[in-house]
């Protein structure tokens, strides 16, 4: 259960129902806490391992010296301007994508309905590709474009599907159709570009951390922190009530349409901002929530999903650098290739718990 620091203006406690089973809640909290602990440990250890074993093996003593604040020619440069920004961007992007995916999955009640599958991710990608190919943008303007693209597409999908009761399935189908159209648009833009630009764009479309630097890390830190600190707690509280059913949520004093708009905004922004820098990292938004839910044996916990997303990207980055001795794979290839088996596992699991798609 997520406790937010913000006070409830109505004095209603959304957790009131849980008082009936205090023992169960404590066990569940412990499980989430334990998962957070192990996940953080895995994240930190993988980051450390990557600092030593990236594309090139660095002497352990030199890495330790650099981490201790000394300057070692060569090693300092590799650590400070390549590996550290990479893991910073990777972890932030993973966290943003994980939270974004988990928000959609919980809201739509469907483990398959993550933003990268239902078209929102393609909106961000298409806008970024457009900006790269026709305007030649590379810096923060790309983030702005991706964010705008994601939001426009999300609004379009929402508008196309918003009617009557069964918003969920309609939204997913509209998203699939829009996604297919945007993919065609991206491919078309690719054929119109010079082969060099096309190659860059293709690299970006695969999802890669290789263009990470402190500047892009800073953009992500600021934007994601603002979203997570100011809007996310509010969204989480409303999400809990939306999950009780929209009628119940309205009865509890939630302005349902606005709650949905805010939720979509936060979810899209947290997913689209990283996409502008790393490209669409396949399956991260999709997998983070379900994996974290499986580990903590409960419903998807949004912050834990963020942590899981970060860990996924960092672990994938480690494998990307070390899997083949003479070939630096982009991270997106690892997450894409290893994501498919996970997808099957998630669905099998969804069956056994009865929360089928």
The alpha carbon dihedral of 224, 228, 229, 230 has a sign of positive
Site track 115-154 with other proteins (rule: CB under 8 A), x = hit: -xxx------------------------------------
278 touches other proteins (CB under 8 A): no
* Segment near other proteins (CB under 8 A); pick from 112-120, 237-245, 261-269, 294-302: 112-120
Question: Dihedrals φ, ψ of 57, to 5°?
Answer: -75, 130
Are residues 278 and 93 in contact, defined by beta-carbon separation less than 8 angstroms? yes
Report DSSP state, residue 131: I
C-beta of 213 vs 355, nearer to other proteins: 355
69 binds other proteins (CB under 8 A): no
Q: Which residue in 25, 42, 112, 250 binds other proteins (CB under 8 A)?
A: 112
R_g of the chain computed on alpha carbons: 21
Among 98, 179, 271, 274, binds other proteins (CB under 8 A): 179
Q: In angstroms, what is the minimal distance from the CB of 175 to other proteins?
A: 9
Residue 94 is a binding residue for other proteins (CB under 8 A) = no
Task: Output 306 or 336, the one with its CB closest to other proteins.
Answer: 336
Among 136, 166, 325, 326, binds other proteins (CB under 8 A): 166
CB distance 285 to 346 below 8 Å: no
Q: Compare residues 117 and 227 and give the one whose CB is closer to other proteins.
A: 117
Cβ-count burial of 316 within 10 angstroms (0-12 exposed, 13-18 middle, 19+ buried)?
buried
SS3 53: strand
* Cβ partners under 8 Å of residue 292, min gap 6: 35, 39, 98, 102, 300, 301, 304, 305, 307, 308
- Determine, following the binding rule CB under 8 A, whether residue 172 of this chain makes contact with other proteins: yes
Q: Are 120 and 264 in contact (CB under 8 A)?
A: no
> Which residue from 79, 144, 174, 305 is in contact with other proteins, where contact means CB under 8 A?
174
Please tell me the total number of residues recorded for the chain in this structure.
Answer: 357
Q: Is 244 in the site for other proteins (CB under 8 A)?
A: no
Q: Which of 35, 75, 100, 110 binds other proteins (CB under 8 A)?
A: 110
Smallest Cα–Cα separation from 264: which of 171, 344, 337, 170? 171
Residue ranges of alpha helices (H) inside the chain are 22-52, 60-67, 75-78, 84-108, 120-130, 140-161, 167-192, 195-206, 214-226, 232-242, 246-251, 256-278, 284-295, 302-322, 331-353
Out of 77, 188, 258, 324, the residue judged to bind other proteins by CB under 8 A: 188
Residue 210 sits in the site that holds other proteins (CB under 8 A) = no
With binding defined as CB under 8 A, does residue 202 bind other proteins?
yes
Q: Which residues in 295-314 contact other proteins (CB under 8 A)? A: none
Q: By CB under 8 A, tell whether 67 contacts other proteins.
A: no
- Scanning 75-83, 156-164, 229-237, 301-309 for contacts with other proteins by CB under 8 A, the matching segment is 156-164
* Contact of 80 with 67, CB cutoff 8 Å: no
251 or 357: CB nearest other proteins: 357
- How far apart (Å, rounded) are the C-alpha atoms in residues 8 and 116? 33
| Residues found near other proteins in the complex (CB under 8 A) | 110, 112-113, 116-118, 160-161, 163, 166, 169-170, 172-174, 176-181, 183-185, 187-188, 190-192, 195-196, 198-199, 202-203, 205-207, 282-283, 286, 329-330, 332-333, 335-337, 339-340, 343-344, 347-348, 350-351, 354, 356-357
């Amino acid at each position: 259960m997520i406790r937010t620091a913000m006070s409830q203006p109505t004095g209603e406690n959304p957790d009131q129902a849980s008082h009936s089973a205090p023992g169960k809640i404590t066990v569940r909290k412990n499980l989430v806490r334990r998962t957070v602990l192990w996940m953080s440990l895995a994240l930190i250890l993988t980051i450390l391992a990557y600092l030593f074993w990236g594309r090139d093996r660095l002497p352990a003593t030199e890495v330790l010296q650099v981490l201790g604040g000394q300057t070692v020619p060569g090693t300092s440069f590799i650590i400070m301007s390549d590996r550290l920004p990479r893991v910073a961007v990777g972890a932030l992007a993973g966290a943003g994508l994980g939270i974004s995916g988990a928000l959609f999955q919980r809201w739509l009640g469907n483990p398959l309905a993550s933003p990268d599958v239902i078209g929102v991710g393609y909106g961000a990608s298409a806008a970024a590709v457009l900006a790269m190919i026709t305007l030649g943008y590379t810096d923060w303007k790309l983030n702005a474009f991706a964010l705008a693209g994601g939001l426009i597409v999300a609004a379009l999908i929402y508008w196309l599907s918003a009617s009557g009761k069964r918003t969920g399935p309609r939204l997913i189908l509209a998203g699939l159709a829009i996604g297919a159209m945007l993919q065609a648009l991206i491919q078309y833009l690719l054929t119109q570009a010079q082969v060099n630009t096309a190659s860059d764009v293709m690299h970006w479309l695969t999802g890669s951390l290789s263009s990470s630097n402190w500047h892009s890390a800073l953009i992500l830190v600021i934007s994601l922190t603002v979203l997570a600190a100011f809007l996310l707690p509010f969204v989480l509280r409303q999400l809990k009530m939306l999950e009780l059913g929209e009628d119940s949520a309205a009865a509890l004093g939630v302005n349902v349409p606005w709650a949905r708009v805010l939720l979509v905004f936060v979810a899209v922004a947290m997913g689209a901002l990283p996409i502008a820098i790393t490209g669409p990292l396949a399956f991260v938004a999709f997998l983070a929530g379900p994996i974290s839910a499986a580990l903590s044996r409960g419903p998807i916990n949004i912050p834990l999903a963020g942590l899981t997303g970060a860990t996924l990207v960092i672990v994938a980055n480690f494998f990307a650098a070390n899997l083949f001795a003479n070939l630096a794979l982009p991270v997106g290839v690892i997450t894409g290739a290893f994501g498919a088996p996970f997808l099957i596992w998630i669905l099998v699991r969804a069956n056994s718990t009865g929360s089928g798609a």
